[in-house]
C-alpha cells in the first residue's frame, strides 16, 4: 500500500513544484542526496573514499521533455567524468536511460550513451546504467549490449529481481561478458511481469545470487554487484560467495546514501568492496519519493523530522 502511494506521489509534477520550494522537505531530502551541485557531491565522495568506500555519482533526472534536454544531460555527464577524474575520486557514474533520451528511441539513446562511454573509457571510469520500469527493459538492454564492445573501462547494468524475466536476462549477460548490479526494483510492476510479495522477490534475489556465483559465471570471470541493505540478503550473498570459492573483492555491495551507514562501514572494514550511490541535483523529488516507497522506515524518519523530534 505505502509503496504504491509513494510511487504515485513520485510522478506528481504539482507536488514536485511544491516540494522544490518547501525548505523542510529540501532539508530532509539531504539525508538521501548530496546536494544540488557537483561540488556538493564531490565532498561526500571524498568523505566516503576516506573511509575505504567507493561511490556512484548520479546527476538526478529522468524522462526529459526534449532531445535538447537529453543532449544537455549527456554533456553534463561528460563534464562530470572529466571533473571526477581531475579530482581523483573513486567513483563510477550512474545514468538513467530516460534522462539521456531513451524516450526518443533506442537509436537516440545509443548516440548519447556512445559519446559518454567514449569519454569514460578515455579516463578509465566505469558507467552504471540504471534500469527503469519494465516497459523499458528490452530497449535498455538492447542499447547496453550494443555498447559493450566500446566500453574499455567497464559498463554495468542493473537488473531487477522482482521481474520474472531477470533469470534469463542474467544468463544472457553472463554469456555476453556483461556486468550486472542486482537490485530488488523500485517501480510498481504488474502481476503478469513481477512478483508482488516481498518474500517472493527475496527468493528470486537469492536464486539470482546463486547464479552469479555459479560455475558458468565463475568461468566467465563474472564480477557482480549487489544493491541491497537487507542484512539477511547480505549474509546470503557472503555465504554463497564463500561456498563457491569467491574472494571478497570478486564482487561488490552497492548501497544508497543515507541508508545503513553502519552496515556500509562494517562490510568495508571486513574487506568487501562497497560503493555508495551519491545522487545530486535539483530534480531530487522523484528519487526521494521512491526511497520512501522502498522502505517504510524512511517515511517514519521523515515524519519525525517534520515534527521536529
pLDDT tens-digit profile, the chain (309 residues): 545 544 444 444 544 554 454 444 455 556 788 888 999 999 999 999 999 999 999 998 888 999 999 999 999 999 999 999 999 999 999 999 999 999 999 999 999 999 999 999 988 899 999 999 999 999 999 999 999 988 766 899 999 999 999 999 999 999 999 999 999 997 889 999 999 999 999 999 999 999 999 999 999 999 999 999 999 999 999 999 999 999 999 999 999 998 899 999 999 999 999 999 999 987 666 666 666 556 555 554 444 443 444
130 is catalytic: yes
Cell 575505504 belongs to residue: 52
Distance CA 43, CA 38 (A): 9
Q: In this structure, which topology does domain 34-283 adopt according to CATH?
A: TIM Barrel (3.20.20)
The domain spans of the chain are 34-283
> DSSP states of 172-200 as a string?
HHHHHT-EEEEE---S---TTTB--SHHH
Distance CA 151, CA 154 (A): 6
H or E element in which residue 55 lies:
strand 54-59
181 is catalytic: yes
H or E element in which residue 227 lies:
strand 225-227
Distance CA 34, CA 258 (A): 9
Choice among 125, 130, 133, 273 that is catalytic: 130
Cell 555465504 belongs to residue: 239
Q: Where are the alpha helices (DSSP H) in 129-230?
A: 137-147, 166-176, 198-212, 215-219
Distance CA 31, CA 193 (A): 32
Please give the model's pTM, rounded to 2 decimal places.
0.85
User: What contacts 87, CB < 8 A, 6 or more positions away?
Assistant: 42, 46
Choice among 156, 179, 181, 295 that is catalytic: 181
Amino acid at each position: 500500500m505505502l509503496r504504491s502511494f509513494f510511487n504515485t506521489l513520485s510522478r506528481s509534477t504539482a507536488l514536485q513544484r511544491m516540494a522544490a520550494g518547501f525548505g523542510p522537505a529540501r532539508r530532509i531530502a539531504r539525508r538521501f542526496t548530496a546536494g544540488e551541485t557537483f561540488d556538493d557531491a564531490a565532498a561526500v565522495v571524498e568523505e566516503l573514499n576516506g573511509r575505504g568506500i567507493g561511490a556512484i555519482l548520479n546527476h538526478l533526472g529522468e524522462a526529459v521533455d526534449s532531445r535538447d534536454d537529453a543532449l544537455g544531460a549527456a554533456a553534463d555527464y561528460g563534464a562530470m567524468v572529466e571533473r571526477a577524474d581531475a579530482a581523483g575520486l573513486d567513483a563510477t557514474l550512474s545514468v538513467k536511460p530516460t534522462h539521456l533520451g531513451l524516450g526518443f528511441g533506442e537509436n537516440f539513446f545509443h548516440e548519447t550513451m556512445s559519446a559518454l562511454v567514449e569519454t569514460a573509457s578515455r579516463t578509465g571510469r566505469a558507467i552504471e546504467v540504471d534500469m527503469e520500469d519494465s516497459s523499458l527493459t528490452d530497449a535498455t538492454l538492447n542499447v547496453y549490449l550494443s555498447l559493450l564492445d566500446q566500453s574499455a573501462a567497464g559498463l554495468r547494468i542493473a537488473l531487477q529481481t522482482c521481474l520474472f524475466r531477470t533469470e534469463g536476462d542474467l544468463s544472457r549477460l553472463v554469456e555476453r561478458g556483461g556486468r550486472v548490479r542486482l537490485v530488488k526494483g523500485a517501480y510498481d510492476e504488474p502481476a503478469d511481469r513481477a512478483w508482488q510479495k516481498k518474500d517472493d522477490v527475496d527468493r528470486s534475489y537469492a536464486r539470482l545470487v546463486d547464479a552469479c556465483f555459479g560455475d558458468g559465471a565463475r568461468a566467465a570471470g563474472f564480477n557482480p554487484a549487489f544493491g541491497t541493505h537487507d542484512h539477511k540478503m547480505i549474509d546470503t550473498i557472503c555465504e554463497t560467495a564463500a561456498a563457491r570459492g569467491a574472494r571478497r573483492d570478486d564482487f561488490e555491495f552497492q548501497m544508497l546514501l543515507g541508508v545503513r551507514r553502519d552496515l556500509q562501514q562494517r562490510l568495508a572494514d571486513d574487506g568487501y568492496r562497497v560503493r555508495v550511490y551519491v545522487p545530486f541535483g535539483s530534480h531530487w523529488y522523484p528519487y526521494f519519493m521512491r526511497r520512501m516507497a522502498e522502505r517504510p522506515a524512511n517515511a517514519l524518519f521523515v515524519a519525525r523530522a517534520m515534527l521536529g523530534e
